[in-house]
């Protein structure tokens, strides 16, 4: 057997866990050292160089703060900053484990662990220790317009503090195999973030498969995600693999996860729990190994309280949660984004280079952008096409600025569709993009408002 794990140190005050770990890991490692007393960690590290360290979060009985785990993590990293440390944590302490990632841990496992998952996590930790870390030489380098395939942040433009914080968390989370839930408003670039997580992960050389849950009908859900056998239904003329099989060994991205009905949520949860799919028309289960990333602009926690989203599914998909900031939260990035899109559309439409006036940028930064980057992108494209000048002035964005500056509803077209769109825009503007508050003022449910936003392209 190829013992890829090298030398392992396991530290836990539970002797049963130490015994189980020793029996399992000795088949996969050259040497396994177990220790129940964390006070001996400095001595052990002075005596031996370990390829990976498995460290419990809590040692003192009746204590669940994780303080000891964080203390010993700090002690280990002080002695060896490159150490691969995997934290052992209880199911309810995932929040602490994510904090440990931010403080230098390589990954974490939940106890009671699954043997295969533990081995895979430790192997990933060993590999990540050997792999060069991206972005360390210059945190800002390559995060604006670089097209290098080695850069996981390709296409993500941003130098503001909220984006730098997001990059840092991605750097930590990506090297683990934890499921990721990406939250953010429409137009913030959630799919780009999902691809960045994949590109920075150990699965980057494998496939990235995406599926829009909002675009898959109830009747085609199982066929699209799990595949089907020939003859399973009228149009099933051949065997077909679903998205799960297509993403095997890679990353599966499920966008608009909040749009799933309760019955489809149940089917998805069953597949995630079993880690296998059964094609429509077949009884044979097919194991799948995927890294799952989900995204939504819907308030899942509120939906759980309202009985619109399964709590157990939410727990399953959000081991780590990433929140993508809205454009109004990162107004410092608007000049970067504006210049990038101006250059892009000048080249696309074969126009002479254009720039944007400083006064225009200031006004763009004051606008609340309910449609976020997507709205800014479309506004820039229109301005580039319509302007006869080489410098874009505030007047080139008048149709946007008037929305913000006018306190009255300027209704020139009494078509009900147009009026509805204006009213929705006003409500969202009034509440700073807060969908729940806007929906309440409009007398709609959140789901109804989301449907109208999609209908009007907002």
- The pLDDT value given to residue 138: 33
Q: Helices 416-430 and 398-405, interaxial angle, to 10°?
A: 70
Buried b vs exposed e over 353-366: b needs ≥16 C-beta within 10 Å? ebebeeebbebbbe
Question: Which two tokens mark 171?
Answer: 């750097």
**Cβ count within 10 A of residue 142:** 18
Report the C-alpha gap between 87 and 100 in whole angstroms: 8
Q: Under a CB-based contact definition with an 8 Å cutoff, are residues 287 and 275 in contact?
A: yes
pLDDT for position 62: 45
Output the 3-class SS for the chain. Answer: CCCCCCEEEEECCCHHHHHHHHHHHCCCCCEEEEECCHHHHHHHHHHCCCCEEEEECCCCCCCCCCHHHHHHHHHHHHHCCCCCEEEEEEHHHHHHHHHHHHCCCCEEEEECCCHHHHHHHHHHHHHHHHCCCCCCCCCCCCCCCCCCCCCCCCCCCCCCHHHHHHHHHHHHHHCCCCCEEEECCCCCCHHHHHHHHHHCCCCCCCCEEEEECCCCCCCCHHHHHHCECCCCCCCCCCCECCHHHHCCCCEEEEECHHHCCHHHHHHHHHHHHHCEEECECCCCEEECCCEEEEEECCCHHHHHHCCCCCHHHHHHHCCEEEECCCHHHHHHHHHHHHHHHHHHHHHHCCCCCCEECHHHHHHHHHCCCCCHHHHHHHHHHHHHHHCCCCEECHHHHHHHHHHHHCCCCCCCCCCHHHHHHHHHHHHHHHCCCCHHHHHHHHCCCHHHHHHHHHHCCC
Q: Which residues of 164-175 are buried (b: 16+ CB within 10 A; e: fewer)?
A: eebbebbbbbbb
Side-chain half-sphere exposure of 93, counting CA atoms within 13 A: 22
Residues belonging to the chain: 458
Sheet containing 320-323: give its strands across.
208-212, 251-255, 291-296, 180-183, 320-323
- The Cβ of residue 433 has, within 10 Å, a number of other Cβ atoms equal to 20
Distance spanning both ends of the chain, measured CA to CA: 56
Which residues are registered as beta bridge partners of 210?
Answer: 253
Cα Rg, the chain, nearest whole Å: 25
pTM for the model: 0.61
Rounded average pLDDT per 10-residue block, the chain, 458 residues: 76 89 89 91 88 86 68 88 84 66 80 81 76 36 36 82 92 91 94 93 91 86 90 81 92 95 95 94 94 95 93 93 94 94 92 91 89 91 91 78 48 71 80 75 81 75
Is the C-alpha dihedral spanning 141, 144, 147, 153 positive or negative? positive
**Dihedral of alpha carbons 27, 28, 30, 33, sign:** negative
d(Cα 41, Cα 75) in Å, to the nearest integer?
A: 9
Q: Which two tokens stand for residue 231?
A: 């003859």
Whole-number pLDDT of residue 64? 60
Domains annotated on the chain, with CATH: 7-130 (3.40.50.2300), 161-323 (3.40.50.300), 327-405 (1.10.8.60), 416-455 (1.10.10.60)
Decide: 328 and 432 in contact? Cβ < 8 Å: yes
């Amino acid at each position: 057997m190829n013992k890829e794990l090298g030398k392992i140190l396991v530290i836990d005050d539970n002797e049963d866990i130490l015994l189980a770990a020793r029996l399992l890991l000795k088949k996969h490692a050259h040497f396994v050292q177990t220790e129940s007393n964390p006070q001996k960690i400095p001595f052990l590290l002075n005596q031996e160089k370990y390829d990976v360290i498995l460290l419990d979060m809590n040692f003192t009985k009746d204590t669940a703060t994780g303080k000891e785990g964080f203390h010993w993590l700090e002690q280990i990293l002080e002695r060896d900053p490159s150490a691969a440390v995997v934290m052992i944590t209880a199911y309810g302490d995932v929040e602490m484990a994510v904090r440990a990632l931010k403080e230098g841990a390589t990954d974490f496992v939940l106890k009671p662990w699954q043997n295969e998952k533990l081995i895979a996590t430790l192997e990933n930790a060993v590999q990540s220790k050997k792999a060069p870390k991206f972005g360390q030489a210059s945190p800002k380098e390559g995060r604006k317009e670089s097209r290098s395939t080695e850069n996981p942040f390709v296409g993500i433009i941003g130098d503001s503090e909220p984006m730098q914080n997001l990059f840092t968390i991605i750097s930590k989370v990506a090297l683990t195999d934890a499921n990721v839930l990406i939250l953010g408003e429409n137009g913030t670039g959630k799919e780009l973030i999902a691809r960045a997580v994949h590109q920075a992960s150990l699965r980057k050389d494998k496939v990235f498969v995406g599926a829009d849950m909002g675009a898959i009908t109830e009747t085609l859900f199982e066929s699209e995600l799990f595949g089907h056998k020939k003859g399973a239904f009228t149009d099933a003329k051949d065997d077909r693999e679903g998205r799960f099989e297509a993403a095997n060994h890679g990353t599966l991205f499920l966008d608009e996860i909040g749009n799933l009905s309760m019955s489809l949520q149940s089917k998805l949860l069953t597949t995630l729990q079993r880690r296998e799919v059964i094609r429509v028309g077949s009884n044979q289960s097919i194991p799948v190994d995927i890294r799952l990333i989900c995204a939504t602009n819907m308030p899942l926690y509120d939906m759980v309280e309202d009985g619109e989203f399964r709590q157990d599914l939410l727990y399953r998909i959000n081991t780590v949660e990433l929140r993508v900031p809205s454009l109004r939260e990162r107004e410092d990035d608007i000049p970067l984004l504006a210049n990038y899109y101006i250059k892009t559309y000048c080249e696309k439409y074969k126009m002479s280079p254009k720039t944007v006036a400083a006064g225009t940028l200031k006004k763009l930064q004051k606008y609340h952008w309910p449609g976020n980057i997507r709205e800014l992108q479309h506004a820039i494209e229109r301005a580039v096409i319509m302007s006869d000048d080489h410098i874009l002035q505030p007047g080139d964005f008048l149709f946007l600025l008037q929305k913000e500056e006018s306190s009255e509803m300027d209704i020139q077209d009494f078509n009900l569709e147009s009026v509805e769109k204006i009213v929705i825009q006003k409500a969202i503007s009034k509440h700073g993009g807060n969908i729940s508050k806007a929906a309440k003022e409009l007398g709609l449910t959140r789901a109804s408002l989301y449907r109208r936003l999609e209908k009007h392209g907002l």
